[in-house]
């Protein structure tokens, strides 16, 4: 991550996550360390696609796929109307976990800054860590039109 973190548009990511959180009626679903599951405990279609990958073993709780192993391929990839909301919840849950990297071990993480992003439980907003606060200004001044628009005068 140390090689990538300077290239991540943290402001844009936090803006997107905050907009997800804004309309989410039950923040307690993602403001937890417990992996979000649906009532029917059905994995999302993309979860099935990642199953078996080495890194995915750490992404899903033990036994996550055993409940529905008997499902055929068509059932696994079938989209239900509620899956969009489940994906939004999963994104918020993952962001909440990332926001707490660097704050672990504190009984009260309120006001503590995460390594890459921070989450404010009062406002339900994500923001970039202090060292990335100025990345928007840097990106805005890094390129100007002359750098990206071809010269057509000749």
Do the beta carbons of residue 27 and residue 21 sit within 8 Å?
yes
pLDDT in tens, 57-88: 888 888 887 766 677 778 888 888 888 899 99
Structure tokens at 75: 């059932």
Encode pLDDT of 22-51 as tens digits: 988 899 999 999 998 877 778 888 888 898
Of 111-120, 124-133, 142-151, which one has max mean pLDDT? 124-133
Q: What is the rounded average pLDDT for all residues in the chain?
A: 80
* Strands (E) located in the chain: 117-120, 125-128
**pTM of the entire structure?**
0.75
Per-residue confidence band for 105, with pLDDT thresholds at 50, 70 and 90: very low
Answer with the residue of higher pLDDT: 106 or 127: 127
Compute the half-sphere exposure of residue 142: CA atoms within 13 Å on the CB side of its CA.
8
């Amino acid at each position: 991550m140390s090689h990538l973190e300077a290239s991540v548009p943290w402001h844009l990511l936090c803006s997107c996550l905050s907009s997800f959180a804004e309309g989410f009626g039950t923040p307690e679903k993602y403001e937890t360390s417990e992996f979000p599951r649906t009532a029917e405990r059905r994995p999302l279609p993309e979860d099935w696609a990642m199953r078996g990958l080495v890194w995915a073993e750490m992404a899903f709780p033990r036994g996550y796929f055993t409940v529905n192993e008997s499902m055929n391929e068509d059932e696994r990839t079938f989209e239900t109307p509620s899956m969009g909301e489940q994906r939004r919840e999963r994104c918020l849950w993952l962001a909440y976990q990332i926001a707490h990297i660097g704050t672990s071990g504190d009984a009260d993480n309120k006001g503590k800054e995460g390594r890459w992003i921070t989450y404010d439980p009062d406002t339900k907003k994500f923001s970039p860590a202090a060292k990335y606060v100025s990345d928007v200004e840097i990106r805005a001044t890094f390129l100007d039109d002359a750098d990206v628009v071809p010269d057509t005068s000749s």
